[in-house]
Structure 1
């Protein structure tokens, strides 16, 4: 392997370059912070989608006899369910 800064030969286990003293190991703290943000983003999307689907189904079941009211209320139920799902996702990441 070679140092990315000065191109001098280094071992794969070296933490710093002997020639230029460049740090060769990235901070795991930065990577874990990026992972946390990505996981939170995915959780928000999943919880929103599941909540929207459940809200849509509950609205369909509740307004089933009245077809006209059901078609008007189903999107509202989906949005409300999605927002409730997002709320639960935010509570998980506190």
Structure 2
């Protein structure tokens, strides 16, 4: 899914993985499909997904509203490590 680095003004600093249920909540509340995100991913989308993942992972620490997340936290997408995978068609030297 999506790996997100969340850093808060309050010292919170964790990497969270958005699970399918977080993406489902995002889709239901925004009417934007996960597959449509590939061509139109915005920071507003990233923060909304992060909000659901944060609430699920750290319910006692998560902000109550998306706007609180936007005002007090930085959210960055962490690139996947699939880019580093070796090409299976390339022969070994």
Give me the TM-score of the superposition, normalised by structure 1: 0.27
Structure with greater proportional strand content: 2
Structure with greater proportional helix content: 1
Give me the TM-score of the superposition, normalised by structure 2: 0.27
Larger relative contact order, structure 1 or 2 (CA cutoff 8 Å, min sep 6): 2
